[in-house]
Structure 1
């Protein structure tokens, strides 16, 4: 649903004058995702697994996301250069990288993998994160693929990747692969930490300054995440 909404938004706003809007939205989602990861996902993972193993796989997740960025070129961070020519190799790399990322982020969503309370907030964090992610991918596809029906088909397939990740982790949970589930969740934590911190730090630009709009978006993102302790 979120992937579809982001894709539709990209179709409606098909020009580079709206990149600032994307940056503000990314600032909010980055802050929210980081806060939910630190306050909900990490404590759950450390509770279920041993500290040494969990820490190791968090690092693995961080560097997996670093490798994924080599394919996506950071478009999930708002790096959209619409005046550039998009080669088939570039578009394929972006699609592949974002699909791997989408598969990983779907894994905490399976029933029984997370506690119900924590799972709800992880769901909201991923839902919000999918909007700018799908917006970025859809923008690339609409600018590079001549056949718009084919572009929409690719977006539909992309929207199914995150549910596929949830099904995969749900299947592992049903087979009592508890250690593997904890390791996968730790890897997901590492990818989320990389994504969220990169979004927040890069939103400041080369001058290391952020606009008041982006600062407010970051504060709101943290605030909404912390409100979960009151609900």
Structure 2
């Protein structure tokens, strides 16, 4: 299930942007605000307590490992996301700042955006194998991003097959991350550290979405409502998950 939902969220966003061509930026920004709140809540309510709860007691017999503090990896995740955004220009939270010519045409494939966005999506897949609710969070997060990116590429006169290739690869990345987390010994052995890095990434993205999805940093009623709904949905999902 967690493989399918994150993949189809991107494909659905791509198809909606391609065929329905939603023009109201306000509605997409409200969807972004909801996704940011939902993702932040899942991170705080589930991932964070889980990281600190387990302590450092899952090493092998006869092996006394001195692992670095979990908090350090969360900070690494935040810093890593800041570096990624230098290349992706903030596409992870709905900002697309790619240079086009006077006619808004894009003449080069934005490889830096593509690689950084795919790396970001790949890492997000790692903690999903242990938490299906997070799969919904990532899916809700990727859906508006896919709409925004597709609309930008269409408006920039990028070839349709190129856009599809870009979005299809992006859609595959999170399920691939989940698959690698299940199959790789390294990923299993350092699952706590990898999850902590992802928590840092999600912290940065979700908080940026919440505070930036409005021009002039003004909070309006619609945005606050969407943020509260995102928080509540994550809370009730986690309550249901823990019982």
TM-score w.r.t. the length of structure 1 is 0.86
Contact 1:19 1:78 in 2 (8 A): no
1:25 aligns with 2:41: no
Alpha-carbon distance change, 157 to 178 in structure 1, aligned in 2, over 3 angstroms: closer
State the partner residue of 1:70: 86
Aligned residues: 220
Unaligned runs of 5+ in 1: none
CA distance in 1, matches of 2:29, 2:187: 39
Alpha-carbon distance change, 131 to 29 in structure 1, aligned in 2, over 3 angstroms: same
From 173, 178, 186, give the equivalent of 1:166. 178
Q: Which has the larger radius of gyration?
A: 2
Q: Which has the higher helix share?
A: 1
Alpha-carbon distance change, 177 to 101 in structure 1, aligned in 2, over 3 angstroms: closer
Q: Residue by residue, what CA displacement relative to the aligned partner does 1:49-73 show, whole Å, maximum 9, x if unpaired?
A: 4495210000000111111111221
CA distance in 1, matches of 2:188, 2:120: 22
Q: CA deviation at 1:185?
A: 0.4
Contact 1:203 1:210 in 2 (8 A): no
CA RMSD, Structure 1 to Structure 2 (Å): 2.3
Question: How does 1:95-106 map onto structure 2 within 5 Å?
Answer: 95-106=114-125
CA distance in 1, matches of 2:223, 2:12: 22
Q: Residue by residue, what CA displacement relative to the aligned partner does 1:123-150 show, whole Å, maximum 9, x if unpaired?
A: 1111111101212222233233542122
Q: Residue by residue, what CA displacement relative to the aligned partner does 1:29-88 show, whole Å, maximum 9, x if unpaired?
A: 000000000000111122234495210000000111111111221123222469954655
Local SS of the residue matching 1:63: helix
CA distance in 2, matches of 1:88, 1:31: 35
Q: Residue by residue, what CA displacement relative to the aligned partner does 1:79-118 show, whole Å, maximum 9, x if unpaired?
A: 24699546556722221221111101111122xxx2xxxx
CA distance in 1, matches of 2:238, 2:37: 16
TM-score w.r.t. the length of structure 2 is 0.82
Instruction: Tell which deviates more after alignment, 145-154 or 78-87.
Output: 78-87
Unaligned runs of 5+ in 2: 1-7, 57-66
1:44 aligns with 2:50: yes
